[in-house]
A and B are shown apart, each in its own frame.
Chain A
Amino acid sequence: MTPAQILQPLFAGLSVGFFCLSYCFPFMGSLLAAEHRPLKTNGLLIFEFLAGRLIGYLLFGILLGYLGERLDYGWLRLMADFSFIALSIFLVLYLLGLMKNKSDFCNTPRFLKNRSPLWMGLLMGINVCPPFLLSAVYVFKQQSPLYGVFYFALFFLSSSVYFLPLLFIGLAARAEEFRTMARLSGFGVALIFFVYGIYSVFHNIRGSL
């Protein structure tokens, strides 16, 4: 393996990491600031979210690799539109405390309880950004599944560096005013994405008819 093959994913991740953060911030920020938790718990939440994002990336990568060339953009977009709707529902359920261990809301399945960040990360991961798409194209041209895994791991690690400051948002949640505003922003974000998701799905379906 050449130094360029190691440096490329690292730099790609570093260069687009802030972009990835800005994509995830509306969801992750609201989630972290809505409750006062110890730093360690916040760290675990971020880790869970990032793990979900990694799984989303890899699922997409496998799909892309399996299909060989490329998914039709229409289908990709539709998948992302549905992910927005699901994301907003997850966020609202989480903010209302309906997905916690103690909750009996609609007999929430066990695998969903307390796993909101993971699922939200996964849904964000599905909604791939253009820099990630470019990286995916590069990887599939290398024609080595092993290098593909290595590339995405490094890309993921270096782009995740930008998520570390999110840890400290949780600290601000000690103040009641901040928590209230965070919940409010969470509901706002959920509403916007829900409406946008519905609009996009219809727009997309109408466009393909």
Chain B
Amino acid sequence: MTSVLFKKIFAFSFLVLVLGATVFFISHREKTIQAQSQNTPGLHEAKYYEPFSNQSVQCFLCPNECVLAPGQYGTCKARKNIDGKLYSMVYGRIASEHVDPIEKKPFFHVLPGSQAFSIASTGCNMRCLFCQNWNISQCFPEDIPTRSVTPEQIVDEALKSGAQSIAFTYNEPVINFEFMLDTAKLAKAKGLRNVIISNGYIEQKPLEELLQYIDAYKVDLKAFNEKFYRKFTGGHLDAVLETLRTLKRKKVWFEIVTLLVPGENDSDEELRALAKWIRENLGDSVPLHFSRFFPQYKLQNLPPTPPETIVRARQIAREEGLKFVYTGNIADPDGETTFCPKSGQKAIVRQGYFIITNNLKDGACPDGEKIQGIWQ
């Protein structure tokens, strides 16, 4: 009798278990579907787009100017057409955050020795074959774990960390335009500086809106030839040069970084033309950083750039009249040092990301010569 009852209870428990698992399966699936639909955290209507009558939209945030059918993502993998409206899918979704020395960005003329509260989302409007952060820049927001945050949270966390600035970095920050703008406005009001580490691939209107809240802009000028841009990045040189001109015109502090890829963008002629263009169009005080390439992502077939190439590039740029030319990713004490242009004295001596000596007082050398930058 007990045995029969036990069997019945056991069999009934099995029925409950199976049906319970079914309900779990279906409810979990429905929740996942819901999360992927419009209620996805991070969904935020985008700026700078134009809707068409057939529910397509055209994005005008960057020079890609993607035309998107409903359901389609932009090249950046961050903006999506949902039912005829363009949404940012990365608003408030942070894929990476660290407190970094500002020298790591690299900014050599911005608050030396300070920390930057650095954040990133996912996606990018370029497809650099040598990307160092491809694991976040070349994916969709739901491909990797992200943390949902508000601009207020970011600013609070930055203040608590003791950082003097918020750096929008790692992936291309421009594609998270709306969140960056909201955060930058708030940060500025709370006394923090805003710095951007970008490929400079942005349309003029959004750039001008953004620059009202940005203190320093680092532009990756990936090469000084269009062929390189087309072959390795998916972007165009002219648009980046236009960004640089706008930065100059708007008097926003900026520094330029060029990663030298062996045999692709490191010829003497190209380096000379690059330095000359900077001097003639942007001025001789713009810091230019030459950085060493290491095989990454899809460009693993090339060797690392020989350190001599980087040193030679610095020499060429200095010969062309640029005052502040630096080297990165190599051991080169002179290339990490800021020299006072007139006296040749050492203004700031660095080692890696650390400041060894800072002889500047209010941005002036011991002989009184002013060096451009943001010093306090």
Contact = CB atoms under 8 A, between A and B. Distances in A.
B14 A137 contact: no
B7 interface: yes
B18 A25 contact: yes
Interface in A93-131: 130
B303 interface: no
B11 A189 contact: no
Interface in B233-282: none
B93 to A, nearest CB: 15
Interface string A179-196: 011101110110011001
A142 B257 CA distance: 28
B140 interface: yes
A43 interface: no
A33 B7 CA distance: 13
A185 B134 contact: no
A23 B25 contact: yes
Interface string A158-191: 0000000000010010010110111011101100
A175 B11 contact: yes
A51 B147 CA distance: 36
A137 B139 contact: yes
Given A134-B143, A143-B298, A192-B26, A22 B21 contact: yes
Contact of B22 (A134, A143, A181, A189): A189
A73 interface: yes
B18 A185 contact: yes
B162 interface: no
B21 A74 contact: no
B366 interface: no
Contacts of B52: none
B189 interface: no
B10 A189 contact: no
A192 B11 contact: no
Contacts of B36: 73
A180 B298 contact: no
A11 B226 CA distance: 45
A178 B10 contact: yes
Main secondary structure of the interface of B (DSSP, over half): helix
Given A77-B33, A137-B139, A177-B8, A22 B24 contact: yes
Most chain A beta carbons < 10 A, residue from B14, B36, B138: B14
B71 interface: yes
A130 B32 contact: yes
A208 B21 CA distance: 29
Contacts of B10: 172, 175, 177-178
Contacts of B12: 181
Given A33-B14, A181-B11, A137 B22 contact: no
B15 interface: yes
Contacts of A196: 26
Contacts of A26: 18-19, 21-22, 25
Interface residues of A, number: 34
Most chain B beta carbons < 10 A, residue from A25, A172, A186: A25
A180 B11 contact: yes
B18 A188 contact: yes
Most chain B beta carbons < 10 A, residue from A177, A180, A182: A177
Contacts of B7: 175, 177-178
B135 A141 contact: yes
A141 B137 CA distance: 12
Contacts of B149: none
B25 A22 contact: yes
Given A180-B11, A181-B12, A29 B21 contact: yes
A177 B9 CA distance: 9
Most chain B beta carbons < 10 A, residue from A25, A26, A73, A182: A26
B17 interface: yes
A181 B298 CA distance: 56
Interface in A40-92: 70, 72-74, 77
A193 B22 CA distance: 8
Nearest to A74: B71
Nearest to B32: A130
Nearest to B33: A77
Interface in B128-151: 134-135, 138-140, 143-144
Given A77-B33, A134-B143, A137-B139, A177 B11 contact: yes
A125 to B, nearest CB: 15
A197 B40 CA distance: 23
Interface of B: 4, 7-8, 10-12, 14-15, 17-19, 21-22, 24-26, 32-33, 36, 71, 134-135, 138-140, 143-144, 298
Report, nearest first, the 10 A-B pairs whose CB atoms are least far apart: A181-B11, A185-B18, A26-B22, A25-B21, A178-B11, A177-B11, A185-B15, A177-B7, A137-B143, A175-B7
24 contacts: A22-B25, A29-B21, A30-B18, A70-B140, A72-B71, A74-B71, A130-B32, A141-B138, A143-B298, A177-B8, A177-B10, A178-B7, A181-B12, A181-B15, A182-B14, A182-B15, A185-B18, A185-B19, A188-B15, A188-B18, A189-B19, A189-B22, A192-B26, A208-B71
